Amino acid sequence: MESNPGTTFLTPRRDGRLIVSMAVVLLLPSFLFVATGASSLAPGMLMASGLVCLLNVRHLLNFRFSFPVVVLLAIFGLALVSAVFSLLDQAVHKPIMSLVILLVLVSALVLGRRISDMEPEATRRSLSWLVGFLLLLGWLAIVWSPRFSGYAPLEKPVFPFSEESHYALALGVLACGMVYAETTLKSLFILGNMLALALAFPNLTLLVFVFIGCFVFSMRFPRLVFWSIFLAGGLALLLGYFFVLPQFTYFADRLDFSDTTNLTTLVYLQGWGLAWLNMLDTQGLGLGFQMLGEAGTRYPHYTDRIVELTGQEFNISDAGFLAAKWIAELGWFGSLMAVAFLAFLLGFACVGNALRRQLKYLPEVDRARHVRRLWLLGSIFGFVVEVFLRGYGYFSPGVFWIIASLYALHCDRARSLT
Q: What is the mean pLDDT of residues 119-132?
A: 94
Contact present, 379 and 209 (Cβ < 8 Å): no
Model confidence at 259: pLDDT above 70: no
CA atoms of 73 and 76, how far apart (whole Å): 5
Closest CA to 193 of 240, 129, 138: 138
Q: Kindly report, residue by residue over 147-203, the tens digit of the pLDDT.
A: 888 898 898 999 999 999 999 999 999 999 999 999 999 999 999 999 999 999 999
Residues contacting residue 146 through CB under 8 Å, at least 6 positions apart? 152, 157, 159
132 pLDDT higher than 90: yes
CB 29 within 8 A of CB 48: yes
Q: What is the pLDDT of residues 269-300, one digit of tens each?
A: 999 999 999 999 999 999 999 999 888 899 99
| Residue 174 vs residue 364, higher pLDDT | 174
> In whole angstroms, what is the distance from residue 348 CA to residue 233 CA?
18
User: Whole-prediction pTM value?
Assistant: 0.92
**158 - beta bridge partners?**
161
Q: Within 13 Å and on the Cβ side, how many CA atoms surround 189? A: 11
* Statement: residue 24 has pLDDT above 60: yes
Kindly list the domain boundaries of the chain, sorted by start residue.
Answer: 16-417
Question: Could you tell me which residue, 328 or 62, shows the higher pLDDT?
Answer: 328
Predicted local confidence at residue 1, as pLDDT: 43
Supply the Cα-derived Rg of the chain in whole angstroms: 21
> Which has the closest alpha carbon to 170: 30, 265, 51?
30
